[in-house]
Amino acid sequence: VCAKVRGDAQTAPALVKLAKERMDDENMEYMLAYTDTERIKELEKLCRKEFGHGPGCIFKLGAAVSSNTGPDAMAIVYRGKARR
């Protein structure tokens, strides 16, 4: 667990903040994944604002993932900084 937030409204901003801290380069391509259509629109809007460009693609998570994460899952997929 990297971080915890209280309330659904704080989830998207926390995801963007974590991604921004860990991204290798803010101008790089990223992707968004989701299970709930309404919530991904908010995440996409925040990402466009913070990173200055839209995602390379947006895709829906399949049954195998969503059955383990629950109905409100969303993710930002990106290349992180190199680890030692």
Tokens standing for residue 63: 């049954």
Give pLDDT, residue 69.
86
Residues 84, 75: Cα–Cα separation, whole Å: 24
Q: Strands 57-60 and 74-77: what pairing?
A: unpaired
pLDDT digits (tens, 9 = 90+) for 6-56: 888 888 999 999 988 888 876 789 999 999 878 899 999 999 999 999 999
Cα(21)–Cα(43) distance, integer angstroms: 16
- Count the Cβ atoms, other than its own, within 10 Å of residue 41: 14
* CATH 3.40.50.80 is the classification of domain 9-77: no
Locate the domains of the chain by residue range.
Answer: 9-77
Q: Residue 27 carries which side chain, given as an amino acid letter?
A: N
